[in-house]
Amino acid sequence: MLKNDLLSAAIESLAPAERIVVFTGAGISAEAGIPTFRDPKGMWNQVDPKKYHINNFLVDPEIRIERWQNTLKGMRGGPRSSIKPTPAHYALTRLWKADRMSGCITQNVDGLHIQAGLPEKAVAELHGTVWRSECYKCKRRWPTETVLDWVEAGQPDPICPECGGVMKLATVLFGEKLHIAEMAKAQEFADQAQAMLAIGSTLSVFPAVNFVIEAHQLGKPVVLVNLGETEKEDRVSVRITGKAGEVIPDLVDALLASN
């Protein structure tokens, strides 16, 4: 199908839905300058995945020190300090403001949906966020900026001031369970929607991808906007191959104009 035909097919699938649940992955933030995981230039080809397993993180202070240093460099003057949401993020905020989105289930940890204006109550951050840090033991949380102050003040491997536990970014490492509250929020968004718009994900990470599988099983249309191949093409009703920042604004504007 031609691009315009695909856009029409996507709108036809989504327009009857009173509310749409949005499901996003690393691809929506690629145009903001954040590398995805599995593309050829993705993070998995540049970092050692072992360093992203909770067991290694907990036992090896060198891994923790390196990760805090990277976070410090990235957030203070480095690439992460200047990263801005993309046109796709802003378009999704328009969809929410028009009361057509039940919520956004994101696998991303970059906080860009909230930075683009989605209220926290509208975003389920399944894999956590880099903007908060927590004690692994007592689960108390602080803004990551506060913990970076401790690092800069001479604690390269900061510990919880309340209980002495190991501090980590509030993101889900391999081997960790997803936050129950975020999962429950995501399920609510999924239940309240009659269609799904999935963006920028290989649809390969469990349990997140279960939301896509479930939408398909319940007979809800799933529109996918993605650049590369995914592992669940058979679950998708309409697939648009393209960049999120180019496709999503047109899709949202056309959808909002259609009813």
Q: Select 127 or 185, whichever has its Cβ closest to ligand NAD.
A: 127
Where does this chain touch ligand NAD (CB under 6 A) — which range of 33-41, 63-71, 176-184, 187-195? 33-41
Our CB check for ligand NAD shows the closer of 107 and 237 to be 107
Q: Which residue is nearest to ligand NAD (CB)?
A: 27
Q: Which stretch binds ligand NAD (CB under 6 A): 31-39, 77-85, 115-123, 232-240?
A: 31-39
The residues with which 167 forms a beta bridge, in sequence order, are 135
φ and ψ at residue 238, rounded to 5 degrees: -135, 130
Please pick, among 53, 127, 179, 216, the residue that the annotation labels catalytic: 127
Is 216 annotated in the active site?
Answer: no
CB of 112 to ligand NAD, least distance (A): 7
3-state helix, strand, coil in the chain (%, to 5): 45, 20, 35
Residue 109 touches ligand NAD, criterion: CB under 6 A: yes
DSSP tag of 50 = G
Of the candidates 100, 220, 239, 243, which one interacts with ligand NAD according to CB under 6 A?
Answer: 243
Near ligand NAD in 140-179, by CB under 6 A? none
Type of residue at 192: Q
Residue 102 touching ligand NAD (CB under 6 A): no
Helix axis angle for 244-258 and 3-14, nearest 10°, is 50
Indicate the helix (H) or strand (E) that contains 128.
strand 128-135
- Rg of the chain over Cα atoms, rounded to whole angstroms, equals 19
Work out whether 27 is an interface residue with ligand NAD (CB under 6 A): yes
Place of tokens 């966020």: 129
Residue 81's contacts (CB-CB under 8 Å, 6 or more residues apart) are 74, 75
Instruction: By CB under 6 A, tell whether 36 contacts ligand NAD.
Output: yes
| 213 touches ligand NAD (CB under 6 A) | no
H/E run at residue 148: helix 144-152
List, by residue number, the catalytic residues.
127
Which positions lie near ligand NAD, rule CB under 6 A?
25-27, 29-31, 34, 36-39, 42-43, 107-110, 127, 200-202, 204-205, 226-228, 230, 243-244
